[in-house]
Amino acid sequence: MAQIEETIVSKRPVAVGECYSTGSEQYRRVVGIDGDQVTYESWGGRVGYRGGHLHRETVGMDGFWGAVDISIPCPANLPPMPDLGGVAPSEDAGTDG
């Protein structure tokens, strides 16, 4: 029987401006937080970001953490962060540290 590996992600505070990876190679950049709601932009990881519009969605914090595996550096070629108000980006956004 094949061994199944699980990636455990600590439910640390989510920060505006940080990027995360899901288990299905989708990437998410947090663009806003309002209470327990996280608004993120997403793009497909297999092809990378190639310009244009990013899909935007709002989900609950538990749903966000249930889908992502790890924090990743944000690609430098993403469009500028939208100004949605709410929580300001962290100074180390987009880093693994």
- pLDDT band at 94; cut points 50, 70, 90: very low
Query: Got the DSSP string for 47-86?
Result: T---SSPPEEEEEEHHHHHHHEEEEEPPPTTSPPPP---S
Contacts of 84 (CB under 8 A, 6+ apart): 31, 32, 39
- Domain map of the chain by residue range? 19-72
Distance CA 95, CA 72 (A): 6
Higher pLDDT, 7 or 72: 72
Entry field: residues in the chain: 97
Phi, psi angles (nearest 5°) of residue 83: -95, 95
What is the overall mean pLDDT for the chain? 76
